A and B are shown apart, each in its own frame.
Chain A
Amino acid sequence: MKHEWLRFPLHVMVRPFDGFWDLKYENKGRSGVAAAIVVLLILSVTVQKQLSGFLVNFNDPRYLNSIDELKYVLLPFLLWCLANWSVTTLLDGEGRLQEIAVVAAYSLLPLVVVYLPTTFLSNIMTNEETAFYYLLNSFAGLWFVWLLFVGTMTVHQYTAAKTIVTMLLTLIVMAVIVFLGMLVFSLIQQIIGFGYNIYYELIFRN
């Protein structure tokens, strides 16, 4: 079919059970499309922060940094994939890492689809109408969580209850990974400092 790369993610968005099933068992998910969705999300969040209307834009322009969006979008995304994979491997999940990543990325599509128009609309809204802006954005958020839930359930062949538990566990594991990462960084810093001190000690000895 024509434009399958565009049609399929949109189909997943509205028919998640059917869509994620096809994604896993008909091999319809594509890593390239998934990566594109994540990139688009980073762009749309950046655009939202920069260009949303004055009435809803509470960002201090002096401290806006597009590179920061990597921190707020890409990093949690990668963490989620890694954490979810770690958890589900232990809990009889059937999904592979690549599938998990594709499912998570496809679930992000509602955010992209909703953020861009609301960013535009926020520029022609009055104070009373900004409620719609927040409503639509929260709706996008809920939609994303719903897709992620269905996707996780389908890709690992879990029951609903087990999916919820797994997702919560994934969040905890994400925190653990961040903690370990910081620990490693801190240790490396200490080791470097230690080596540096020894070096200085030696060169000042004579």
Chain B
Amino acid sequence: MRSTRMLIVLAAVVLLVSGAVPAAAAVPYENYNYNYWRDAVPSPEAYLPSRSITGVSLGIGDFLEPTDLFATKEDGVYLLDTGNNRIVVMDRDWRLLSVIAGFEHDGKPDGFNKPEGMFVDSEGTIYVADTGNKRIVALKADGRLAGVIRDPQSDILPSGFEFVPIKLTVDRAKRVYAVTRGVFEGIVQFDSDGTFLGFVGTNRVRPNASDYAWRFLSTKAQRSQGVLFIPTEFSNVDIDAKGFIYATNIDPGSQTPVKRISPSGDDVLKRYGYFPVAGDVRYRLAGADGGPSKLIDIKVREGGTYSVLDSLRGRVFTYDEEGNLLYIFGGKGNQLGTFKLPAAVEAIGERMAVLDRARGRIVEFAPTRFGAAVNKATALHADGQDQAAVEAWREVLRLNGNYDVAYIGIGKSYLLEKRNKEAMHYFKLGMDRKDYSVAFKRYRREVMKAHFGQALSALLLVALAAAAAYVLRRYRIRRGSVSHEA
């Protein structure tokens, strides 16, 4: 084992030194994806760490426990430097634009106190969940105060309710959705003028059979001592272009840690992939890095895809619109591309950025040829351009022949073109039984239509042959009996 490793290292060194091959930048974590059989199989890198940004590299002193990162559609990248109570504004190439450390409130200077969440709308208005001050602050693009939300008033709120916002998002009508600490009813929704509207998307509690049994067996005194069955809190929110809220929660038993909440409050996330949209499929049950993924941030990206951040193992999982797992990158560690305590994930165009809270730095990831091809194909498919997507999927398959989603994508395009037999072949390769069945049904009808005449004549021939055999046999028996008598 040791000698093999030495050999590999030696080979790597030789390759690097000789410079004959442009050495692919190796990443300090293993690249994998899950196949249909739920095995973690090696996969080419979809993203590679390209650079790291710290407060020092920007020339404004170290970030202290930064907790949120936000990139607008236009040019701005905003970092919420929680420990320093400031917002750092950068452009897409990580050049410092400005630092917002305070604002004027009723004629007096005011500031943040350990803010944990941030959202910037299309006009550049910055919404900050000012956690320590128990309020939400909205700042105009030029840094002037636009509004403050605090102490929501309503009959449905319990007495002694404390409003501690930690994460937030804002829709196009400027309604604010805030994840608040200690609130189990759901995401708190505010009108554009800051009035409390209600809760959306409650996490439901589903006690299982053994819970019921224990409750039944225990006495009243024991019951009052026991753990309360309360729904878990959401951990983060984001919003897509249609105004649907994407929310994550960290309930360890949940099969649906990611939700897409419609305006009517239902979870409408598509989960058509092989396994639940929940990060890792296989993991150790015990140990420091054991247990299901702990999803603490979500970012809705182009083409209906979204990325979720697992703080337990430091990985970013990206899913397409239909809930297929596209690629995984990142990990825990000390090298570039790994994190100590990841806090937020963002998409800056094609690139991705992960904020490491403990180390106070942003790690930028750039797509590889493989990652770019997957992104392109998914976007084309989401756009309905399945034929154009086929070329992109073929490129994906050239780089990773085990990529099931690509086979399914090609199959779907062929199905639209009525190339049913080829579609069947691709669906089978992608282990997609549902679509295979559709393709097969059409193919079967095709074959039956084409061969109906032949089948009928064959049937007729068989019937004739059977009749002839019967007559012949009767004749022989009669002759045999006659000769016997004679």
Where the two chains meet, the residues of A that have a C-beta atom closer than 8 Å to any C-beta of B are 54-55, 60, 62, 124, 126-128
Contacts and interface: CB of A to CB of B under 8 A. Distances in A.
B432 to A, nearest CB: 10
Nearest to B442: A126
A55 B37 contact: no
Interface in B407-440: 428, 433-434, 436-438, 440
Given A124-B444, A126-B441, A126-B444, A54 B37 contact: no
B436 A55 contact: yes
A126 B437 contact: yes
A54 B436 contact: yes
Contacts of B441: 126
A127 B434 contact: yes
11 contacts: A54-B428, A54-B436, A55-B436, A60-B37, A62-B37, A126-B440, A126-B441, A126-B444, A127-B433, A127-B437, A128-B437
Interface string B431-466: 001101110110010000000000000000000000
Nearest to B441: A126
Contacts of B436: 54-55
Which has the most chain A C-beta neighbours within 10 Å: B428, B433, B434, B441?
A: B433
Interface in B209-245: none
A171 to B, nearest CB: 26
Nearest to A63: B37
Contacts of B444: 124, 126
Contacts of B37: 60, 62
Contacts, number: 19
A179 B8 CA distance: 48
A126 B435 CA distance: 10
Given A54-B428, A60-B37, A127-B433, 15 more contacts: A54-B433, A54-B436, A55-B433, A55-B436, A55-B437, A55-B440, A62-B37, A124-B444, A126-B437, A126-B438, A126-B440, A126-B441, A126-B444, A127-B434, A128-B437
A126 B436 CA distance: 9
B209 to A, nearest CB: 26
Contacts of B438: 126
B389 to A, nearest CB: 24
A-B pairs with lowest CB-CB distance, top 10: A127-B437, A126-B441, A126-B437, A55-B433, A60-B37, A54-B428, A55-B437, A126-B440, A54-B436, A127-B434
Contacts of B440: 55, 126
A17 to B, nearest CB: 34
Nearest to B436: A54
A12 B213 CA distance: 49
Contacts of A62: 37
Nearest to B433: A55
A127 B437 CA distance: 5
A63 to B, nearest CB: 9
Contacts of A127: 433-434, 437
Contacts of A124: 444
A168 B370 CA distance: 59
B1 to A, nearest CB: 25
A5 B434 CA distance: 44
Contacts of B437: 55, 126-128
Interface in B1-45: 37
A185 B145 CA distance: 80
Interface in B56-105: none
B165 to A, nearest CB: 47
A60 B441 CA distance: 24
A165 B433 CA distance: 43
Nearest to B435: A127
A54 B436 CA distance: 9
Which has the most chain B C-beta neighbours within 10 Å: A54, A60, A62?
A: A54
